[in-house]
Copies of this chain bind each other. A is one copy, B any other.
Amino acid sequence: MTRGTVAPEISSRVRSIPPSPIRGLAPLAEAAKARGIHVIHLNIGQPDLPPPPGVAAALAAAATQPPVYTASQGIPQLLDAWARYYERIGLAISPEQVVATGGASEALSLAVLATTDPGDRILVPEPFYAPYYGILAAAGVELVPIPAPERYGPVTPQAIQERLGPRTRGILLCSPANPTGTLYERDQFAAIAELAREHGLFFYSDETYRELVFRGSRAASALEMPGLEQHVIVIDSVSKRFNACGLRIGALISRNPDVIAAAVSLAELRLSLPLPAQLAAAAALEAPATYVAEVVTTYRRRRDAALAALARLPGVHVVPPDGALYLVAELPVDDAAHFAAWLLTDFTHHGETVMLAPLSGFFATPGAGRNAVRLALVQPEPVLEHAAELLGEALARYSGRTT
């Protein structure tokens, strides 16, 4: 490298992070709005539902407290609230087994940094929550995709086993999954747990959407797998089930004390989480079970309405999600990313358009997900039905239509 006249350059690891499939279209949406177009946002998992009433009360109370540093692991009130929440859903977790984090994102970041070194690999079923790729890349860790089976079902232990190597440190699963709503049954979880045990792997389980399921009361948890106490690291969040994304509070949960100690030593580097958000998240976690049940009922109604409306569109195939708050639609287009951009740049119908997330951004395998989009169920049924009509109108006009 010639030094002296050359400006320093940004890192390779950052250049390897693909642009966010959600955020990349944002400037196009802003431009559409500037032209007076009404954009229906189905592109981002930003719930439109109100958080439990305790959240606003806790924030108001926090306003009178001095904004001081708190314990890096989280304030005792928040760790206790997590433990009580887990007790209510039938999982024995003590406050010492919880590290409060800045959302599920920081929980995964701490989990990865605590358990991997640069050059290590983590296996992840495709499609996956898009930021996984960058969170691993920032840590110098390679995301090894496990291609999705037909219809985005759970991956098989066989598919995992085939991709194990000497640098494989673990398996990262999300159930129910963002973006597909795929739900792993207990026996499917157990088979993967067995692999983790056999090969000495970490089992990173993103359970952000745990209760948001359309059969049963909650998804199977990696914390229920016997003999896997040293392997399981659960990623959790108050964002979705309590509609409190903007608090940015999640948690890393593990029964492995070394993992907790490592995560705390990493958390100490950022000293603490904001106090007001911690107090508000503790209040959210104390919400009655009826609160989450109503959230699930709302998403079930929306899913059913969206499925029915999309079924009316020729050439559109939808995979009915078993949980979470998204659905994946395969569209009769050459390139769904191009189509999603076109919706914002070229299409309007009575002054309206719709914003979708191209599914390609949720894959590491080049070319995968090219004909699909993710829709977030973050609008009331009439809006979802109306958005489906707009989508039908757009598909009828789009020049890259394939069928």
Copies in the complex: 2
Residue of B nearest to A238 (CB): B67
Complex CA–CA separation, A72 to B1 (angstroms)? 33
CB-CB contacts below 8 Å: A108-135 with B: 109, 113-119, 131, 134-135
Query: Does B280 lie within 8 Å of A277, measured CB to CB?
Result: no
Query: Does B170 lie within 8 Å of A8, measured CB to CB?
Result: yes
At the interface, yes or no: A272 with Cβ under 8 Å from chain B? Answer: yes
Selected from B11, B20, B258, the residue in CB contact (under 8 A) with A117 is B11
Chain B residue contacts of A170, Cβ below 8 A: 8
Complex CA–CA separation, A8 to B51 (angstroms)? 38
Chain B residue contacts of A116, Cβ below 8 A: 11
Given contacts A7-B256, A59-B63, A67-B280, 9 further A-B contacts (CB under 8 A): A1-B200, A4-B199, A7-B200, A8-B200, A17-B265, A63-B63, A135-B269, A138-B139, A274-B276
Residue of B nearest to A101 (CB): B270
Q: List 10 A-B contacts (CB under 8 A).
A: A13-B118, A44-B69, A62-B63, A66-B246, A69-B245, A109-B269, A113-B138, A246-B275, A248-B270, A248-B272
Query: Does B269 lie within 8 Å of A138, measured CB to CB?
Result: yes
CB-CB contacts below 8 Å: A74-132 with B: 102-103, 105-106, 109, 113-119, 131
Interface centre among A57, A201, A271 (most CB of B within 10 A): A271
Complex CA–CA separation, A116 to B51 (angstroms)? 40
CB-CB contacts below 8 Å: A217-234 with B: 230-231
Given contacts A246-B274, A272-B246, A276-B274, contact A258 B64 (CB under 8 A): no
Question: Shortest 10 CB-CB distances between A and B: which pairs?
Answer: A67-B246, A7-B230, A59-B63, A118-B118, A60-B63, A105-B270, A3-B200, A246-B275, A274-B277, A14-B262
Chain B residue contacts of A140, Cβ below 8 A: 117-118, 139-140
- Could you tell me which A residues sit within 8 Å of B by CB distance? 1, 3-4, 6-14, 17, 19-20, 23, 44, 46, 50-51, 55-57, 59-60, 62-64, 66-70, 72, 102-103, 105-106, 109, 113-119, 131, 134-135, 138-140, 169-170, 197-202, 230-231, 243-249, 256, 258-259, 261-262, 265-266, 268-277, 280
Chain B residue contacts of A275, Cβ below 8 A: 246-247
Query: Does B198 lie within 8 Å of A11, measured CB to CB?
Result: no
Complex CA–CA separation, A20 to B73 (angstroms)? 14
Given contacts A7-B230, A50-B66, contact A274 B274 (CB under 8 A): yes
Chain B residue contacts of A67, Cβ below 8 A: 51, 55, 243-247, 280
Looking at the assembled complex, report how far the CB atom of A178 sits from the nearest CB atom of chain B, in whole angstroms: 13
Given contacts A69-B246, A116-B11, A117-B12, contact A4 B198 (CB under 8 A): yes
Given contacts A8-B169, A265-B19, contact A271 B105 (CB under 8 A): yes
Selected from B4, B102, B134, the residue in CB contact (under 8 A) with A266 is B134
Given contacts A113-B14, A276-B59, A276-B277, contact A268 B134 (CB under 8 A): yes
Looking at the assembled complex, report how far the CB atom of A290 sits from the nearest CB atom of chain B, in whole angstroms: 20
Complex CA–CA separation, A247 to B199 (angstroms)? 42
Query: Does A262 lie within 8 Å of B231, measured CB to CB?
Result: no
Looking at the assembled complex, report how far the CB atom of A364 sits from the nearest CB atom of chain B, in whole angstroms: 15
Chain B residue contacts of A269, Cβ below 8 A: 17, 105, 109, 131, 134-135, 138
Given contacts A12-B117, A270-B105, contact A6 B248 (CB under 8 A): no
Complex CA–CA separation, A102 to B140 (angstroms)? 22
